Amino acid sequence: MGKMHTKAERTEKVEEIKAENRKKVKEIRAKKKELDAEVKKKARQVAADRKKRRAGITFRLFMLAIVPVIVMVLGLITTTVFSLKSGLEEEAMDGLELLSGAVQSSYEDIKGNYEYKNGRLFKGGEELTIKPAALDIYVKNSKNDVQVTLTYGTKRVLTTLTDNKGARLTGTDISSEVWDVVKTGKTYRDTNYKVDGKRYCAVYVPLKDNNQVVGCVFAGQPTSDITNYIMQKVGTMLIVSAVVLILVGIVATFIAQSISKSIKRASVSVTKVAGGDLTVEVDKTVLKRKDEIGDMGRALETLIIKLREIVGSLAKSATDLGESGNSIDSMASQSSVAAGEISTAVEEISKGAVSQAEDIETATNEIMTMGEQITQIVNNIADLTKTSKNMEEAENASQDTMIELSDAVQRTTDAVARIAKQIETTNESVDKIGNAASLIADIASQTSLLSLNASIESARAGEAGKGFAVVASEIQKLSSQSDSTASKIQEIITDLQNDSKETLEVMRSTEVLVREQYEKLAATKERFKEVGNGINVSKHGTDVIKGNAEVCDSSRVTVVDVISNLSAISEENAASTQQTTSSMQELNATINILAETAAKVKEVSDQLNEDMKYFKM
């Protein structure tokens, strides 16, 4: 179903939109006033701070030119100082190494070996420690404050170095760091070696005796000599740099003032534009410049031209907007009347569609109830068909069982007949055994008589007949046993004959009962055939009923589908009419909003025309 809106909800929605529009108009007006005030304030501030900005721009341009020069000069001086210091130190070290080699050679010219006794150094019997003037000559002939020392081991024995009081530093030791290098035959070099609190560029050359290092020769130049020389050069460079900076400052000031004046002229034009004066012309001197300031002036001129076009277009658009607002207001009134009439007609259609949908829904429910009953009948018939099938299967199974039972009874009858015949045969055999037993008994009786006669005769014979008497006695025993056995056999045969007669009578009775059972079984078999025929007839009737019920159910389903489709169409029609009604109501509300908006557009158009008066064209 479509979304429905009550009249109260639509009215509330319209009022909300109106309130929101009024609020937005107020906000726009407030923002416009703020912007106008801000523009005027900025214009006054631009005019008041023009000179200050001019001075600021001149100063910044001056600094922009002078600062890189200062940085470049400082970088150049720093690079020069480091380069000069490195070169001077290298030159000094090379000179000191030559000086040390010269001192070493002068002492090697003296023949003999070095010998150190009691703090005195000898070579070839000549004492060297009493001739310090030999080292002083090297110092006097040097242009720099060079110092020379001769050591034996780590001990200074001859030196031009003096302390604060002017005393020579003989008897003092060189550092172990230096001696560890020199004693291996290598030269030690250091550009910042400290001796008695003073820094030197120092070189220590090994002093050898028979290719064995026994000491070293020191030559050193104070680092202050190099520093003083560098400071003199730096002073000269600073003077030259100051002159260059002054010249650059003068040129930078001239250029900065030229740029500042051009910016000032462009600023005047911008200030007038900010005040709404679009008749202003950019200064020709600014437009003739070939730099970025000229580009800025030409861009400003283009901006003024574009603003004139835009403001003129806005003024025309404001007039057109006012006329359009009036037209929209008129059309909204006409549309509102038409929408009301359409809404009334659609509501009538909606009521009829809803009523039709309700009637179809009732019919659908009745059809669904009938369908459920038909479905139940079909299910019951299906159960009945299943039961008939089960009965048929049971009847077939019973028929098979009856056949098997009939065969079993027949086999039983035949077996009973055979058993009866066998019993009769057994009775005949028993009679024969009885006759044989009687014969045995007669023979035993005769044998007993013969053995008795034999015993009598053996008694008469005396000793000669004892053996025969023993045989006769044994024969007598056997005869007695045979007679006894024959009697027992006769008793057993008599019992067997009696049992056979009873069994034969039972078998004959059983044969009669089996025959009667067979006759009853045959009658039961016939009845089962009749039941099977009845089941087949019932099954056929059930199948016919089932087919008719299925046809009825199929028709019911078709009817239900048709009713369902009709119900769906009816519901869709009702929903569509209700949706249309809702849409018309919303359209009516929208038209009202449109009319309200048209009035606001007219107000905005009037306000826009008023605002356009700010610009002077």
Q: What is the mean pLDDT of each run of 10 residues along the chain (617 residues)?
A: 55 70 68 66 60 60 76 83 83 86 84 85 83 80 83 90 86 91 92 89 91 91 86 85 82 73 70 70 74 75 75 66 61 59 61 62 64 66 67 66 67 70 72 72 73 71 66 71 74 74 72 70 68 66 66 66 65 65 65 66 66 61
Q: Which of 617, 372, 402 is nearest to 526 (CA)?
A: 402
Q: Indicate the residue type of 108.
A: E
Determine the pLDDT at residue 181. 93
Question: Which phi and psi angles does 132 have, rounded to 5°?
Answer: -70, -20
In terms of DSSP bridges, do strands 126-127 and 147-152 run parallel, antiparallel, or are they unpaired? unpaired
Q: Which of 300, 452, 357 is nearest to 444 (CA)?
A: 452
Which three-class secondary structure state does DSSP give residue 2?
coil
* 115 beta partners: 122
CATH number for region 75-248: 3.30.450.20
Which three-class secondary structure state does DSSP give residue 382?
helix
Domains of the chain, residue spans: 75-248, 333-608
* 277 beta partners: 616
Contacts of range 73-78, beta carbons closer than 8 Å, 24 or more positions apart:
73/237, 73/241, 73/244, 73/245, 76/237, 77/234, 77/237, 77/238, 77/241
For residue 481, count CB atoms less than 10 angstroms from its CB and return exposed for 0-12, middle for 13-18, buried for 19 or more. Answer: exposed
For residue 119, count CB atoms less than 10 angstroms from its CB and return exposed for 0-12, middle for 13-18, buried for 19 or more. Answer: exposed
> Number of C-alpha atoms within 13 angstroms, CB side, residue 359?
7
CATH 3.40.630.30 fits 333-608, yes or no: no
Rounded-to-integer distance, Cα 257 and Cα 59, Å: 9
Tokens at 430, concatenated: 């028993």
Determine the pLDDT at residue 216. 93
Say whether pTM exceeds 0.85.
no
Residue with the two structure tokens 């001197």:
285
Q: Is the dihedral of CA 265, 266, 267, 268 positive or negative?
A: positive
The answer for residues whose C-beta is within 8 angstroms of residue 418's C-beta and 6 or more apart is none
Residue with the two structure tokens 């002036």:
297
Determine the pLDDT at residue 542. 65
Rounded-to-integer distance, Cα 52 and Cα 395, Å: 126
Rounded-to-integer distance, Cα 86 and Cα 78, Å: 12
Tokens at 114, concatenated: 């070095």
Taking a C-beta distance cutoff of 8 angstroms, is the pair 612, 278 a contact?
no
Rounded-to-integer distance, Cα 550 and Cα 613, Å: 90
Determine the pLDDT at residue 2. 43
Rounded-to-integer distance, Cα 226 and Cα 43, Å: 64
Taking a C-beta distance cutoff of 8 angstroms, is the pair 7, 589 a contact?
no
Taking a C-beta distance cutoff of 8 angstroms, is the pair 267, 49 a contact?
no
Determine the pLDDT at residue 433. 73
Q: How many CB atoms lie within 10 A of CB 525?
A: 16
Burial 39-67 (b: 16+ CB within 10 A, else e): eeeebeebeeeeeeebeebbeebbeebbe
* 219 beta partners: 148, 203
Please give, one letter per residue, the 3-state secondary structure of 180-198: HHHCCCCCEEEEEEEECCE
Rounded-to-integer distance, Cα 271 and Cα 290, Å: 23
Q: Indicate the residue type of 29.
A: R
Rounded-to-integer distance, Cα 153 and Cα 207, Å: 9
Tokens at 227, concatenated: 């520093």
- DSSP string over 98-140: HHHHHHHHHHHTS-S-EEEETTEEEETTEESTT-THHHHHHHH
